[in-house]
């Protein structure tokens, strides 16, 4: 049977991934829209910056997060003055997961915005819709399938996050030990094969649930919009 | 007629993706009255570009645009109150037809009259993807009209429609413009389409408005024939119906009868006819036993060579009605035509439009 510690790891993983995706999603939508529709200085530089977590080793991201938020650094000192010290908390795990999932989410949403014909928002503009209203009534609803994809991709990425989390949040059972970290620990311990197997199965649960939910939402959206 | 829109604008559009590689510069200076104005010009002459400048979707580089006394050049498109029906209807795919129509409406707008006028009641709860091209276009027209525009722009509203649907779409545009008292600019490269609905015309060529005036004046102008190519050269004639027989209607030109096929017209109606130069043949003597119904006595005014052909301008006897014929140079030489000659114009086909005014 599942031990309480393993149950805790499962719950922690889901909490971390949900918080990471929920916080990252609005930013991802904004950044995706900006990249898809606006031109501004340093656009390609910022594009590279957003994609960095996708191409550098996760440990590097975890390390960078650690050194920028440690109380002896400038930014970390400022955070510390506000009473915030994220390192080695479950919040750190959420930040690490969010940062790692962010580029994937931006890509999925950006593609959704880019595939929308500009003519649609142009017509809305001639009908008196301000930029804000055009975004809320045309761009955003039409990007819903892309946003759903981004959510699932981001959730999957966040649940599986390992390198950045272990560096930034450490591997503290009951505090920051998410499923992948618990599995790593079990695999390292002598006689931990059975626990490792159970944790492997546990890892599948959130992944399967998120895939089924996304499939269901996409279908529902599809039927609502196309079938009449 | 009151002035709706005056424009004195210049623009410049990049023609390639690489910066500063090439630009298309255009300019337009015109005044559009109330009623319906047709924007005529061949494909690629800049009609859509000009319409986008007027709506505010594209930027002008310099100049002034005045709509009903207000300078709108600096206003963003969403504050100009100009309804735009682009060539493809561009309905919002995620909204019902009803939501599409109400998109630009003020709160509590009653759309029932408009919906009936455009025969849309059965479509209101459908999704745009289930509509035919003609239905989608009518929805796009309704949607633009509901936003209480001060001016309507229709970009090639008849493109891709069969002749019957073309005619009904155009009469619809005329009807709604009248009922809602909204002036309109309608673009086309099919000149024959616009005749029944337009009051005023702008001729566009090579990114510039080159001519403006009443529809009759613009159609008669040599620039129009040249810009649109010989195929569309011809003359526009106004007349009153004097009789009917066997589904044909009779109009009189200086006492000479002209028989036209035109069902559902009644004696006394005013009609406009367009006679294309290529549908007119010339005979020196009145021909006998011939299938062509219409043979008018005319006087040759002018002969103008155009490549291998000759455009003959003639005056219908006892009138100041001008008729043009396009014949080969060989025929012109064989007939030895010269200005002042009396001869006969044989007319193969006449396009007739009915106008209430």
CA distance A75 to A9: 30
pLDDT digits (tens, 9 = 90+) for B76-133: 999 999 999 999 889 999 999 999 999 999 888 888 888 998 989 999 999 999 998 8
Between these two residues, B235 and B336, which has the higher pLDDT value?
A: B336
Q: Examine the pLDDT at B184 and tell me if it is beyond 90.
A: yes
Provide the pLDDT for residue B96: 94
Q: Which of B79, B95, B103 to mutate to test the interface with A (most CBs of A within 10 A)?
A: B103
Q: What ipTM was reported for this prediction?
A: 0.82
B325: left (phi over 0), alpha (psi -120 to 50) or beta: beta
Q: Does B147 touch chain A (CB under 8 A)?
A: yes
Q: Examine the pLDDT at A13 and tell me if it is beyond 90.
A: yes
Residue B58 Cα, gap to closest chain A Cα (Å): 10
Q: What is the mean pLDDT of residues B156-167?
A: 81
Q: Examine the pLDDT at B22 and tell me if it is beyond 80.
A: no
Q: Does A39 touch chain B (CB under 8 A)?
A: no
Burial class of A51 by CB neighbour count within 10 A (0 to 12, 13 to 18, 19+)? middle
Separation of first and last alpha carbons in chain A:
49
- How high is the mean pLDDT of chain A? 90
Residue A115 Cα, gap to closest chain B Cα (Å): 13
pLDDT digits (tens, 9 = 90+) for B298-309: 999 988 887 778
Between these two residues, A29 and B112, which has the higher pLDDT value?
A: A29
Provide the pLDDT for residue A99: 96
Provide the pLDDT for residue B193: 67
Instruction: Name the CA dihedral angle for B163, B169, B175, B179, rounded to a multiple of 10 degrees.
Output: 180
Residue B99 Cα, gap to closest chain A Cα (Å): 11
Which residue of chain A is at minimal alpha-carbon distance from B86? A123
Going A52 to A55 to A56 to A57, the CA torsion angle's sign is positive
φ, ψ of residue A196 to 5 degrees: the values are: -60, -40
Structure tokens at B142: 């309704």
Q: Examine the pLDDT at B220 and tell me if it is beyond 70.
A: yes
Q: Does B137 touch chain A (CB under 8 A)?
A: no
Residue A226 Cα, gap to closest chain B Cα (Å): 7
Which residue of chain A is at minimal alpha-carbon distance from B91? A120
Per the document, the length of chain B is: 357
Which position has the token pair 């390198």?
A163
Q: Examine the pLDDT at B353 and tell me if it is beyond 70.
A: no
Q: Does A204 touch chain B (CB under 8 A)?
A: no
pLDDT digits (tens, 9 = 90+) for A102-142: 999 999 999 999 999 999 999 999 999 999 999 999 999 99
pLDDT digits (tens, 9 = 90+) for B241-250: 888 877 778 8
How many interface pairs between A and B have CB atoms less than 8 angstroms apart? 62
Which residue of chain A is at minimal alpha-carbon distance from B92? A120
B228: three-class secondary structure by DSSP: helix
Q: Examine the pLDDT at B25 and tell me if it is beyond 60.
A: yes
Q: What is the mean pLDDT of residues A4-20?
A: 92
How many other C-beta atoms are found inside a 10 Å radius of the C-beta of residue A90?
20
Provide the pLDDT for residue B309: 83
Q: Which of A127, A145, A221 to mutate to test the interface with B (most CBs of B within 10 A)?
A: A127
Instruction: Name the CA dihedral angle for A111, A114, A120, A123, rounded to a multiple of 10 degrees.
Output: 150
What's the pLDDT band for B218 if we cut at 50, 70, 90?
Answer: confident
Contact by Cβ (8 Å): B199, B164: no
Q: What is the largest CA-CA distance in chain A?
A: 70
B281: three-class secondary structure by DSSP: strand
Residue A97 Cα, gap to closest chain B Cα (Å): 33
Domains and CATH numbers, chain B: 3-230 (3.40.50.300), 236-354 (2.40.50.100)
CA distance A103 to A53: 7
* DSSP secondary structure string for all residues of B32-43: EESSEEEEE--T
Provide the pLDDT for residue A227: 40
Q: What is the mean pLDDT of residues B328-340?
A: 88
Least CB–CB distance from A228: residue in B81, B127, B143: B127
Which residue of chain A is at minimal alpha-carbon distance from B58? A122
B28: three-class secondary structure by DSSP: strand
- How high is the mean pLDDT of chain B? 85
In chain B, residues with a C-beta closer than 8 Å to the C-beta of A123 are 84, 86, 90, 92
Least CB–CB distance from A122: residue in B57, B82, B129: B57
């Amino acid at each position: 049977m599942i031990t309480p510690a393993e149950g805790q790891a499962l719950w922690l993983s889901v909490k971390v991934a949900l918080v990471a995706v929920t916080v990252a999603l609005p930013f991802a939508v904004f950044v995706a829209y900006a990249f898809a529709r606006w031109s501004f200085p340093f656009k390609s530089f910022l594009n590279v910056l957003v994609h960095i977590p996708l191409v550098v080793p996760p440990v590097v991201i975890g390390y960078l997060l650690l050194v920028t938020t440690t109380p002896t650094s400038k930014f970390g000192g400022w955070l510390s003055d506000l009473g915030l010290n994220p390192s080695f908390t479950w919040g750190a795990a959420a930040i690490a997961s969010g940062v790692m999932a962010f580029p994937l989410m931006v890509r999925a949403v950006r593609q959704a915005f880019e595939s929308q014909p500009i003519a649609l928002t142009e017509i809305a503009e001639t009908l008196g819709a301000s930029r804000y209203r055009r975004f809320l009534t045309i761009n955003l609803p039409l990007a819903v399938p892309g946003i759903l994809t981004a959510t699932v991709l981001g959730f999957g990425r966040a649940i599986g996050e390992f390198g950045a989390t272990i560096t930034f949040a450490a591997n503290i059972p009951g505090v920051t030990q998410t499923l992948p970290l618990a599995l790593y620990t079990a695999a390292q311990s002598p006689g931990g094969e059975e626990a490792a197997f159970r944790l492997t199965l546990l890892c599948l649960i959130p992944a399967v649930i998120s895939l089924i939910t996304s499939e269901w939402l996409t279908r529902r959206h599809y039927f609502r919009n196309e079938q009449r | 007629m009151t002035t709706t829109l005056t424009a004195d604008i210049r623009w410049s559009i990049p023609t390639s993706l690489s910066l500063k590689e090439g630009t298309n510069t255009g300019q337009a200076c015109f005044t559009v009255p109330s009623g319906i104005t047709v924007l005529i010009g061949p494909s690629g002459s800049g009609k859509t570009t000009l319409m986008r400048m007027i709506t505010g979707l594209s930027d002008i580089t310099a100049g002034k645009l005045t709509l009903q006394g207000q300078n709108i050049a600096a206003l963003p498109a969403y504050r100009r109150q100009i309804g735009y029906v682009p060539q493809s209807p561009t309905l919002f795919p995620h909204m019902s037809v009803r939501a599409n129509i109400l998109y630009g409406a003020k709160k509590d707008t009653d759309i029932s009259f408009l919906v009936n006028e455009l025969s849309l009641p059965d479509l209101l709860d459908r999704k745009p993807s289930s509509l035919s091209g003609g239905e989608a276009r009518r929805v796009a027209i309704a949607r633009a009209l509901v936003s209480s525009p001060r001016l309507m722009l229709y970009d090639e509203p008849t493109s891709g429609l069969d002749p019957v649907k073309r005619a009904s779409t155009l009469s619809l545009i005329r009807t709604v413009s009248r009922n809602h008292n909204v002036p309109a600019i309608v673009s086309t490269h099919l000149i024959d389409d616009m005749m029944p609905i337009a009051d005023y015309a702008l001729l566009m060529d090579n990114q510039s408005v080159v001519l403006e005036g009443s529809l009759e004046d613009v159609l008669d102008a040599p620039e129009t024939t040249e810009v649109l190519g010989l195929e569309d050269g011809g003359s526009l004639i106004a007349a009153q119906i004097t009789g009917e027989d066997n589904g044909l209607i009779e109009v009189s030109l200086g006492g000479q009868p002209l028989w036209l096929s035109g069902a559902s017209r009644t004696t006394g109606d005013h009609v406009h006819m367009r006679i294309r130069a290529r549908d007119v043949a010339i005979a020196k003597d009145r021909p006998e036993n011939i299938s062509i119904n219409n043979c008018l006595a005319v006087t040759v005014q002018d002969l103008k060579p155009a490549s291998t052909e000759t455009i003959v301008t003639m005056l219908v006897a006892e009138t100041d009605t001008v008729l043009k014929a396009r014949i080969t140079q060989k025929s012109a030489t064989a007939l030895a035509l010269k200005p002042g000659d009396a001869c006969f114009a044989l007319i193969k086909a006449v396009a007739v439009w009915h106008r209430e005014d």
